[in-house]
């Protein structure tokens, strides 16, 4: 289990920043992979309640009252993390974990401009035309994609307003956002386009942030 560095004392006045229904990533002492749970609620300065983690059977032997863990989650564009201990495992009437309320917490802004090399199929709508693309770099600010120029596709140029759609790994629904073309590079019939997202909606931002959270090494 990774130790948390640069921890900040949790203010008694402010409490912990987390919304009910938030997905949390849990690193259990003695387990070399992370599991996910859903935050259910808390009693301030007393305890937190989360669902039993997915893959519970694979971590059951390491999960008991007194076992230690690191909990990480996203809130308002930042990664929060804290160390805690299991108080109790409840299976009736619902399957949950009671965790010690943290006294210290780490807050780190998600690196929204870091380049994240990916391969994500998608599509673009531009000038009443639609064509397939492959996104190979994405962040909260924008993305870069490639497509093949053909006689049926209008070549994009700097300043064009387009709509980019993609289906992120682990997300069942397609998400989309408006974007402005910042630069265009051509190599024979392969065109590479850099874009900046515009007017991002929560429906687009939330799954994107969780995706970035996972690939930047916070989900272990």
* pLDDT tens column, 52-79: 998 888 898 999 999 999 998 888 767 8
Query: Are 126 and 213 members of one domain?
Result: yes
- Which of 109, 137, 166 is the endpoint of a domain? 109
**Which CATH number is 176's domain given?**
2.40.10.220
Predicted confidence at residue 151, as pLDDT, reads 58
- Quick check: is 65 in a domain? yes
Same domain, 14 and 102: yes
Let me know whether 95 and 177 are in one domain.
Answer: no
Where is the domain boundary, 73, 92, 109? 109
pLDDT at 189 over 80: no
Contact 40, 51 (CB under 8 A): yes
Q: Is the pTM of this model over 0.85?
A: no
Say if residue 87 is in the same domain as residue 59. yes
Query: Given 61, 76, 109, which residue is the final one in a domain?
Result: 109
Average pLDDT of the residues in 148-161: 78
Residues 134 and 95 grouped into a single domain: no
Residue 202 pLDDT > 70, yes or no?
Answer: yes
* Mean pLDDT, range 176-193, rounded to an integer: 90
The two tokens of residue 193 are 């386009």
Nearest to 60 by CA among 28, 87, 38: 28
Judged against a pLDDT cut of 90, whether residue 190 lies above it is answered with no
Kindly indicate the confidence band of residue 184, based on its pLDDT and cuts at 50, 70 and 90: very high
Nearest to 206 by CA among 75, 34, 30: 75
| Residue 110 confidence class, pLDDT cut points 50, 70, 90 | low
- How confident is the model over 137-145, as a mean pLDDT? 89
* Domain annotation covers residue 3: no
- Residue 2's pLDDT is 47
Total count of domains within the chain: 2
- How high is the pLDDT of residue 91? 85
Q: Look at residue 10 in the predicted model and tell me its pLDDT.
A: 43
Domain that holds residue 100: 8-109
2 part of a folded domain: no
Residues 155, 124 share a domain? yes
Phi and psi for 6 in degrees, rounded to 5? Answer: 65, 40
| Claim to verify: residue 90 and residue 138 sit in the same structural domain | no
Whether residue 105 is found in the same domain as residue 122 = no
Residues 104, 12, single domain; the answer is: yes
Q: Is residue 12 part of a domain?
A: yes
In whole angstroms, give the CA distance from residue 220 to residue 147. Answer: 33
What pLDDT is stored for residue 14 in this prediction? Answer: 57
Could you report the per-residue pLDDT of 88-109, keeping only the tens digit for each? 999 888 899 999 999 888 877 6
Q: Is residue 206 part of a domain?
A: yes
pLDDT higher than 60, residue 45? yes
Same-domain status, 105 and 132:
no
Is there a domain that residue 1 lies in? Answer: no
Q: According to the model, what pLDDT value does residue 216 have?
A: 61
């Amino acid at each position: 289990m990774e130790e948390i560095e640069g921890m900040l004392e949790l203010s008694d006045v402010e409490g912990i920043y987390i919304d009910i229904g938030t997905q949390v990533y849990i690193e259990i002492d003695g387990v070399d992979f992370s599991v996910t749970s859903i935050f259910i609620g808390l009693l301030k300065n007393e305890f937190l309640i989360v669902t039993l983690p997915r893959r519970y059977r694979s971590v059951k032997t390491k999960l008991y009252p007194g076992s230690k863990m690191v909990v990480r989650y996203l809130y308002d564009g930042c990664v929060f993390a804290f160390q805690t201990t299991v108080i109790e495992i409840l299976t009736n009437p619902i399957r949950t974990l009671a965790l010690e309320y943290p006294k210290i917490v780490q807050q780190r802004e998600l690196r929204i401009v870091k380049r994240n090399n990916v391969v994500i199929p998608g599509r673009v709508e531009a000038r009443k035309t639609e064509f397939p693309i492959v996104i190979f770099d994405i962040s909260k600010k924008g993305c870069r994609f490639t497509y093949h120029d053909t006689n049926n596709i209008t070549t994009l140029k700097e300043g064009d307003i387009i709509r980019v759609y993609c289906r992120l790994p682990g997300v069942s629904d397609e998400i989309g956002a408006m974007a402005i073309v910042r630069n265009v590079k051509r190599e024979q019939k392969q065109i590479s386009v850099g874009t900046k997202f515009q007017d991002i909606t929560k429906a687009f931002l939330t799954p994107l942030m969780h995706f970035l959270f996972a690939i930047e090494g916070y989900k272990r």
